[in-house]
Amino acid sequence: MEMKRKKRNLSLWIGGGLLICFVTLAILGPWIAPYSVTDEDWSADPPLYPSSTHWLGSDNQGKDLLTLMLYGLKYTLFISIGIAFLRILIGGVIGLGLGMKEVQVKQQGIFRVLGSVPVIIILSFLLTKVGITEDVTPAKWELIVVQSVLMILFGIAPIVISVKSKTEVIKSHLFVMVAKQMGASTQRVIWKHIFPLLKENLFLMFLYEIILVLVMFGQLSIVNVFLGGSLIKISSSGPPKYYSKSQEWMSLLGQHKDYLDYKIWVIAYPLLGFFLLMLSFYLLYRGFEKKYQQEYSKQPYI
């Protein structure tokens, strides 16, 4: 019985282990990559097959695919974490503020409307206008900032609604009402009574938002909107081709989607890496969810 009770949370351990591996690769990637991100191999018509020279093959420009993935991981990983964190931070603060209001305010309706709008359609339209160019300007990081800001702004509405709802529930508890009757300020009530009961939910929402942002990267790449910008090359002999400026993993998939029926490795390897990255965050989400449920089951009065 004691052994069962102390059973390890495998989801948490596996998810954490995978994420540590990805973070390590994201940091060390440019130093351990076998080639430079600008090196091209035209010894045959690219994409080149996997070989001893190019372990994962090459892309449609003759660039080593393993090198591109090692360079691009930091954008996929850290930008998605940053966007999710700022969504939770901004949406959480607004949601807390609205939830602490004693009366309903008109501004709440704005977030409900925004929360019902299909964000991917709006982002596809806006980011197509600013993210697809025929030259290297604007710079990659300038576009990443613009794209991230838009993804944050159009992604906070559901968080505001959720945090507001949870805040109102906690606010109705007797111990919170007593604290307010005894003269506790709103700030003290939030930090001493509301936030301690919200922090686990906020962390789970943070992990879930990372998954949503990664999915959004994938959806945008289908319409050739790549993180860091899309470089379009128009040819008189065929349809225009789109190239990623950042080598972000979902951008690599979008860049090579025409190779789905043949030379599939150029899609398979980035897709496998992306799946494992998504899996790491999903397992972390499930692991922490299980951990918090076990903790609250021991202290049901919280």
What is the number of other CB atoms lying within 10 angstroms of the CB of residue 290? 14
Predicted local distance difference test score (pLDDT) of residue 21: 98
Q: What is the average pLDDT across 271-279? A: 97
Q: What is the average pLDDT across 30-50? A: 91
Instruction: Pick the range with the lowest mean pLDDT from 65-79, 96-110, 143-157, 286-300.
Output: 96-110
What is the number of other CB atoms lying within 10 angstroms of the CB of residue 125? 11
Dig out the tokens for 55 from the structure. 């372990």
Predicted local distance difference test score (pLDDT) of residue 27: 97
pLDDT over 90 (residue 209): yes
What is the number of other CB atoms lying within 10 angstroms of the CB of residue 185? 11
Distance CA 282, CA 280 (A): 6
Which has the closest alpha carbon to 271: 252, 294, 287? 252
pLDDT confidence bin for 262, thresholds 50/70/90: confident
Predicted local distance difference test score (pLDDT) of residue 151: 94
Distance CA 221, CA 237 (A): 24
Instruction: Pick the range with the lowest mean pLDDT from 69-73, 159-163, 229-233.
Output: 229-233
> Which DSSP string do the residues of 36-62 spell out, in sequence order?
-TT----SSSSSPPP-SSSTT-B-TTS
Which backbone phi and psi does 218 adopt, to 5 degrees?
-65, -45
Q: CA torsion angle for 117, 155, 21, 60 (degrees, to 10)?
A: 60
Q: What is the average pLDDT across 246-268? A: 89
Predicted local distance difference test score (pLDDT) of residue 302: 45
Q: Which residues contact 288 (CB under 8 A, 6 or more apart)?
A: 12, 200, 203, 204, 207
pLDDT confidence bin for 2, thresholds 50/70/90: very low
What's this model's pTM, rounded to 2 decimal places? 0.90
pLDDT confidence bin for 6, thresholds 50/70/90: low
Distance CA 21, CA 45 (A): 34
Question: Structural domains in the chain?
Answer: 10-31+66-298 (1.10.3720.10)
Distance CA 213, CA 200 (A): 20
> Alpha carbon of 79 to those of 20, 128, 224, 228, 231: distances in Å?
16, 19, 18, 10, 20
Average predicted confidence (pLDDT) for the chain: 87
Question: Between residues 136 and 13, which one has the greater pLDDT?
Answer: 13
